[in-house]
Amino acid sequence: MVRALDGDFLLIQKMRNGDEEALELFVRRYYEPIFRYCAAHVRDRFLAQETFERFFRSFEDYKHWGKAANYLYSIAANACRDALRRKQELPLAGVPEPASAPLERLDAALSVRAELDRLPEELQETAILYFLQELKQKDIARILGIGLPLVKYRIKRARELLTARLREEE
């Protein structure tokens, strides 16, 4: 059931009525997190665009049952899986890094990123959504179509593996 004051719901309704500003606000609100999500998975900065293209191609059929972000993450996850199947990953150089990041912080981030890549796929997906995208566990459960207890287990297991592996590097 959609709450009456759900910001996404109102925004979607305005978009359905042809409001260009609502469309622009929607993209500005969700583009950066979807971009980061896609970049974290396959380092393909164009998958965020593909995610929005897929969303708007099926926009007439879209039923707003919750957060629009969850639906976008589901589309992005499918786009990432498709890209991985095609084995068309772009190099890490394609993802912009903040220019002001200290070298030590950058090294640490690259170590964490490398260890995330080594996690089993089901743990990796959950870890990226939780640790990098900072999504709530209940939203992760909806996006992945799994139960909340399984999300909690995967986060705990990913944290254990990452901690152990990063300690080995020290």
pLDDT in tens, 63-117: 877 788 888 998 998 888 888 777 544 444 444 444 444 545 555 555 667 778 8
SS3 state of residue 57: helix
* Containing structural domain, residue 72: 1-95
User: How many whole angstroms separate alpha carbon 65 and alpha carbon 63?
Assistant: 6
Domain boundary among 49, 67, 95: 95
Side chain identity at residue 16, one-letter code = R
Tally of domains in the chain: 2
Q: What is the mean pLDDT of residues 124-137?
A: 87
Q: Is 166 found in the same domain as 115?
A: yes
| Residues recorded for the chain | 170
Q: Is 148 found in the same domain as 87?
A: no
Q: Is 161 found in the same domain as 84?
A: no
Q: CATH number, domain at 24?
A: 1.10.1740.10
Q: Is 150 found in the same domain as 112?
A: yes
If pLDDT is split at 50, 70 and 90, which confidence band does 170 have? low
Q: Is 141 found in the same domain as 122?
A: yes
Would you say residue 26 has pLDDT above 50? yes
Q: Is 51 found in the same domain as 19?
A: yes
Q: CATH number, domain at 128?
A: 1.10.10.10
Nearest to 36 by CA among 131, 121, 100: 131
Q: What is the mean pLDDT of residues 140-155?
A: 90
Give this prediction's pTM: 0.58
Q: Is 121 found in the same domain as 38?
A: no
What the block records as the tokens of 120 is 């089993």
Report percent pLDDT > 90 for the chain. 19
If pLDDT is split at 50, 70 and 90, which confidence band does 62 have? confident
Side chain identity at residue 139, one-letter code = D
Residue 18 makes CB contacts below 8 A (sequence gap 6+) with none
Q: What pLDDT is stored for residue 1 in this prediction?
A: 41
Mean pLDDT of the chain: 79
